[in-house]
Structure 1
């Protein structure tokens, strides 16, 4: 495999069109668009709700090109707001409800957002709160059909975690999402009547991608039900697809009596999957996939069967990818419009339209992409380059380790030394913790032997810590900074 591999789009997207939601309402009006706490909402009904909501927003003064902040967890209201913004040309700007109020206010101010909607009352200044009617019996004031619009106008913003501390606001148009969904469906089939669990938040690109994928084929979006465990939700709502993080998957597979026969595919995100998890999935005859993706590319870039070697599959339709000096560059139909700034939308691309990902990668002999880690995660120990993700993949080969995060700790002799945070049944063995740092001391010798034939001595962690409690993973990617900060605060 050469250092560069590209694949052009197989299908061009027309400039004008109606949203996939209204298109599905025309072709499959009785199909269930959303399952919400056991209640079915058809595509015809949802289409009418969205048209009525668009009228409300327009009357209030929300106009084309204006960002509308939406501060909420996943719910029917957020789904309606996304599609209504698509219709009227407003920019759907979801913000995590877990953000501190000061951070939400900072985003409102820096992006000059005139209106916001929140599921709870917030004391925000310089922006007007919206009171909207989302009731199922609300219909447009007059007979109204969906109208065609420019698919290439801005439709949403997704905040990226980034490495600068302040999130960047990535802007997409609907054509980006359509291209991403078409490529994703080329490997993970999704058809009318299938049901995908909206397990990822709509303020992450993975959650928004589920909405677009389902609408394009008149599949069902299933909202999580906090009153039911996942296995019960699968049985009640006939789930066929889900995007899961390791904790969710572990809890699901722990119930040996759970019926998972309706599941056609699980999308598990990027990186190596532990051998134990793969064995359990194989025993249940569940097709599982891993992927490499990012906000700026609308979600998935490569996808393939989940493997323990850490590969992330092959390039999907509509994407181009090249590797220069070990670092990945991407472009294609799903590449975002740019970052929203006070100067407008700025495109951080080179002269040929390539986006620099800061991800290190390589192609294996089978044409699968292997992510080697982030350029900005690398550190130097005793003059040697250390890539944390390589060590994490080796640790997850242990049958009793489900997740691992490696980071650097200061050392007088070597400058920096690797340490690891681990989660899994290995922690249930006889483990001794120090009173201050919660450092694991009794399994160091075992893991030193386990890693001996897998990674060089200087790469092996010198200290191990248990996975911090009360940390929640909302996307398919682990929040490294949050976990490392939690350990460092305990160690102080």
Structure 2
């Protein structure tokens, strides 16, 4: 089963159902298939063949979706790049992928035009007079007939680049089988049904964005595009299009629920919500239940490399819980060794924190990084994928994630999880967000430092320290010994906290 066939099956099943919406533009499955075919025929005339990389530097828009499906029909590899990558990281991805075609828009033009290429690709722009050809010229010159490319399910369909919060991004090649299996798991785990609808707000260079697009295709659902996330726009689209399911990062839910105009919108059609990409606080979890009243609410824990690790849909009873393994998965919690010395047999007992590992034989699992055998050997050992995440299993066998191996604070010989302290801090009524780091200390080795985004400017260090001392969930040795008030927490587009920017003091402090 390849993704090009998946799309064609959907188009033949319900040709007149709405497939794609952007602003006032609406495509049925039949109309979308026609544009995809025209695009595929033009790309084929430009020499795009099986396994060629087509690099896409676009926001979520009609053109991105059409390119995705056209590339699948040709057996080429959809290679989307984060528009916000630094010029250095963009150049790295270009060198690594060696694309035959590069598609860009105004916001990404400079990154493309200043990059160096070993072999010049064909440049395709969105705007007039940009690139060798424009997207519209490609569609206009294409025909609805082209020579289809035979693909098997082990061929690579997509190559996503990891966010690269440390070091260079790594290319993660994903086969048609990986993507299809991951999407079926996504549908099952989120309780999706035929003819659902969703907001396409997660970028299509991110595994969550690709999963939403594929899920709507398989279910003949409606995929409503949002080129940039803005809470007011998202609320407008959710209400206008009567969207039934939502899959976003916690930051987006936070902005959505805290928008002053939230109560003005009718969101009764929204029945199923899910999140991934970052932890969600207990307070935000409760707020999602109270304000969105979902029939189904799931925390999805996974990665680009292996889509699903675990899921939890009992967040009303266990907020923040990552739950049990997905339908294709086997997980273990083993002794944590930052130097990579632990093995799959080094299991830790329930309740003890260790590194989460996932079996790499899963149908959802990639086979290794693109051009990075060194990184592959480090990540996959004894046919298990070592996530670098720290967690523990409770008495029910449910997984909780408590941080990353490289983020653990070790103070006076005690291992301290930043996430545990962050959950306490954000429960204070005057705290909007909090991030905890370990900072070097001559006496203790490290001390706990808390970076706080205040909700109320009257907040004081003394007040927070007293709050932590009295909090029943926080041992005294874990409480922060340093507080820094900041304007905002630096994050990647996928919602991951960029701790290195806090360490490098790349942020705005607030003095009260």
Question: Structure 1's 478 and 22: CA in aligned 2 closer, same or farther, altered over 3 A?
Answer: farther
- Which is further off, 197-206 or 380-389? 380-389
Q: Is 1:281–2:283 an aligned residue pair? A: no
Q: Distance in 1 between matches of 2:381 and 2:25?
A: 50
Residue of structure 2 equivalent to 1:457:
476
Measured in 2, the distance between the counterparts of 1:112 and 1:271 equals: 35
CA contact (8 A) 1:196 1:222 kept: yes
SS of residue matched to 1:370: strand
Instruction: Write the distance in 1 (CA, Å) between the matches of 2:398 and 2:357.
Output: 16
- Distance change in 2, residues 1:135/1:43 (3 Å): farther
Task: Describe the shift of the 1:484–1:199 C-alpha distance in structure 2 as closer, same or farther (beyond 3 A).
Answer: farther
Q: Specify which of 60, 64, 79 is matched with residue 78 of structure 1.
A: 64
Shift in Å, 1:448: 2.5
Match of 2:160 among 158, 165, 184: 158
- SS state at 2:20 partner: strand
- How far apart are residue 483 of structure 1 and its match? 5.0
CA distance in 2 between partners of 1:163 and 1:447 (Å): 32
How much does 1:353 deviate? 2.5
Provide the residue aligned with 1:216 in structure 2.
Answer: 218
Over the residues paired in the alignment, what is the CA RMSD in angstroms? 3.0
Measured after TM superposition, the shift of residue 150 of structure 1 is 1.0
Alpha carbons 1:244, 1:476 under 8 Å: kept: no
- Give the aligned partner of residue 323 of structure 1: 333
- Matching residue of 2:311: 302
1:310–1:393 contact (8 Å) kept in structure 2: no
- Residues 408, 416 of structure 2: 8 Å contact kept: yes
Assess if the C-alpha contact under 8 Å between 2:450 and 2:484 holds in 1.
yes
1:405, 1:136 → 2: CA distance?
47
Q: Structure 2 length normalisation: TM-score?
A: 0.82
Instruction: Note closer, same or farther for the CA distance 1:413–1:41 as it changes in structure 2 (3 Å cut).
Output: same
Q: Distance in 1 between matches of 2:440 and 2:383?
A: 39
Superposition deviation, residue 110 in structure 1? 3.4
CA distance in 1, matches of 2:61, 2:321: 34
Higher RCO (C-alpha under 8 Å, 6+ residues apart):
1
| Cross-structure match for 1:237 | 241
Alpha-carbon distance in structure 1 between the residues aligned to 2:207 and 2:189? 19
Distance verdict in 2 for CA 1:337–1:443, change over 3 Å: same
Gap change, CA 1:344 and 1:219, over 3 Å in 2: farther
Offset of residue 305 of structure 1: 3.6
Equivalent residue for 2:468, pick from 433, 440, 448: 448
Matches of 2:218 and 2:486, distance apart in 1: 39
Going from structure 1 to structure 2, the CA distance change for 1:111 and 1:139 (only over 3 Å counts) comes to closer
Q: Separation in 1 of the partners of 2:411 and 2:219?
A: 51
Q: How many residues align?
A: 466
2:391 to 361, 374, 380: 361
Query: Counterparts of 2:137 and 2:379 in 1: how far apart (Å)?
Result: 43
Quick one: which of 257, 260, 276 aligns to 2:264? Answer: 257
User: Residues 40-119 of structure 1 correspond to what in structure 2 (within 5 A)?
Assistant: 40-119=26-105
Aligned to 2:17: 31
In structure 1, the partner of 2:349 is none
Partner residue of 2:175 out of 173, 176, 194: 173
Whether the aligned pair in 1 keeps the contact of 2:285 and 2:315 (CA below 8 Å) is no
Q: Is contact 2:75-2:150 (8 Å) kept?
A: no
* Secondary structure of residue in 2 paired with 1:97: coil
Matched-pair contact (CA < 8 Å) for 1:276–1:399 = no
CA gap 1:157/1:147 in 2 versus in 1, 3 angstroms:
closer
Secondary structure in structure 2 of the residue aligned to 1:215: helix
- What is the deviation of 1:232? 1.4
How far the C-alpha of 1:465 sits from its partner, in A, is: 3.0
Most deviating of 269-278 and 25-34: 269-278
Q: Which runs of 5+ in 2 are unaligned?
A: 125-132, 336-353
Change (3 A) 1:191 1:96: same
| CA gap 1:399/1:291 in 2 versus in 1, 3 angstroms | farther
Residue 314, structure 1, aligned to residue 320, structure 2: no
* Contact map agreement 1:418 1:459 (CA 8 A) in 2: yes
Contact 2:3–2:73 at 8 Å: present in 1 too?
no
Per-residue deviation at 1:339? 0.5
The answer to whether the Cα contact below 8 Å between 1:91 and 1:154 also exists between their aligned partners in 2 is yes
Matched residue SS, 1:259: coil
CA separation of 1:137/1:65 partners in 2, compared to 1, >3 Å: closer, same or farther? Answer: closer
Q: Offset of 1:442 from its aligned partner?
A: 4.8
Secondary structure of the structure 2 residue equivalent to 1:19: helix
Greater CA deviation, 93-102 or 478-487? 478-487
